[in-house]
Structure 1
């Protein structure tokens, strides 16, 4: 999901740091509920002319076009190395391997997402080409791991609250994991991505982010600037989805 860089996009907030608009939170909550209630047992879906496995508790690309959009337009480094943070069902990581990236690494904080990506790598005969790690952001990677391209389809909605997971039944724990794919309270995860990703890039490596017009663009630009980046918009979804503009962003080192 993505940001407009130099200005607030349609449907985005213009206030500073107080969380997403009510409409964005409502839409994000619908995405979480739709997946939690609609995917209660292992199933399959079709995207980019391929069949994919989908497990309960994993964000469903069938309810949101962002995965398909970003996967289609990512500039995968053919012959190079690719890291996906937050791999979800594994569509992007598997596609990177299919498009001949020499090394593909995928991480996710969710055990179900890691297993889902493993299933889809096996389904498409690419298990030997994809390394999987369960961990938050860059956790689990080796100290010397560097990549030509790093991408994160981020949870772009700041709900404006700081409620953490609580002791709930298993079904609600699953819903809580899905919330982490949509909501980032205080944009703490975005801050970590901006501050730590540079040390994981090769010389000349590229840092990309998926964002959305539902996100807080002012805060995103501020966090990027604090980490020494400016935001460049590579691609927007335009009229693909009514009322939402998904944007593929590049975080470019600001040398000025």
Structure 2
């Protein structure tokens, strides 16, 4: 699992200047130090699988380039909030919102998980394509891959309920390379019950990865 992550990290570190990439038939800005969606097959899958709440509110945790947040706005969400702890990712998300002329709909904020939000910030959908590899990140880019002790996942489940509208949906992008049983246990500690919405196996140079979209509902 870590070997695959480091292979992908090596490709990311080759990106040393701002550039553009193509995804879903659209052009996007990419800054150095930001996760590059076009390098992973999961990006297009999640973009098509997500249930964007038309006329509703959408929150993306760990927005990276912001392509999901931009798509949420383009596909009819009335308000979109994009959160990321990385300064480069926040700037990248802003650039792509401006590029696709949805900057009046997409609000971008910097902070760890839900820290930038207030008690009044509530959403119909909260989504996070998580850093599923357990390990210690050395820099901001590696935080897109590694979650030591799955602490970020614990924070996700701990804080999400305060920011969901009644009947809102909590979604997590994950893979079979991560420890899904541990994620389920962390979710249960904070009152969440998991369900698999979509899954697809994709071939890689080193075998196959199954990408999974999970939904968590409050147990009770």
TM-score under structure 2 normalisation? 0.96
How many residues were matched structurally?
218
3-state secondary structure, aligned to 1:177: coil
Q: Is residue 2:189 matched to residue 1:249?
A: no
**Distance in 2 (alpha carbons) for counterparts of 1:142 and 1:218:** 31
**Distance in 2 (alpha carbons) for counterparts of 1:92 and 1:51:** 13
8 Å CA contact 2:119–2:162 kept in 1: the answer is no
Q: Which moved more, 1:220-229 or 1:231-240?
A: 231-240
8 Å CA contact 1:67–1:153 kept in 2: the answer is no
Q: Is residue 2:11 matched to residue 1:34?
A: yes
Structure 1, residues 41-79: CA drift from partner, whole Å, max 9, x if none? 011111111000100000011211222211111001001
Shift of 1:239: 3.7
3-state secondary structure, aligned to 1:44: strand
8 Å CA contact 1:211–1:246 kept in 2: the answer is yes
8 Å CA contact 1:85–1:152 kept in 2: the answer is yes
Q: Which residue of 1 aligns with 2:97?
A: 121
Alignment RMSD (CA, Å):
1.2
**Distance in 1 (alpha carbons) for counterparts of 2:78 and 2:11:** 36
Q: Which residue of 2 aligns with 1:230?
A: 193
3-state secondary structure, aligned to 1:71: helix
**Distance in 1 (alpha carbons) for counterparts of 2:215 and 2:20:** 31
Larger radius of gyration, structure 1 or 2?
Answer: 1
Structure 1 or 2: larger strand share?
2
Q: Could you say which structure has the greater relative contact order, defined with CA pairs below 8 angstroms and 6 or more residues apart?
A: 1
Structure 1, residues 139-171: CA drift from partner, whole Å, max 9, x if none? 111221000000000000113xxx465xxxxxx
Detail structure 1 runs of 4+ shifted over 6 Å in the superposition: none
Q: Is residue 2:80 matched to residue 1:104?
A: yes
Structure 1 residue corresponding to 2:67, chosen from 68, 88, 91: 91
**Distance in 2 (alpha carbons) for counterparts of 1:230 and 1:26:** 31
Structure 2's unaligned 5+ residue stretches are none
3-state secondary structure, aligned to 1:128: coil
Go from structure 1 to structure 2 and tell me whether the alpha carbon gap of 1:87 and 1:164 turns closer, same or farther (over 3 Å shift).
closer
**Distance in 1 (alpha carbons) for counterparts of 2:209 and 2:177:** 7
Residue pairs, 1:91-240, within 5 angstroms: 91-159=67-135, 163=136, 165=138, 176-239=139-202
TM-score under structure 1 normalisation? 0.83
3-state secondary structure, aligned to 2:140: helix
Shift of 1:33: 1.7
Structure 1's unaligned 5+ residue stretches are 1-23, 166-175
Shift of 1:111: 0.6
**Distance in 1 (alpha carbons) for counterparts of 2:73 and 2:137:** 35
Q: Which residue of 2 aligns with 1:169?
A: none
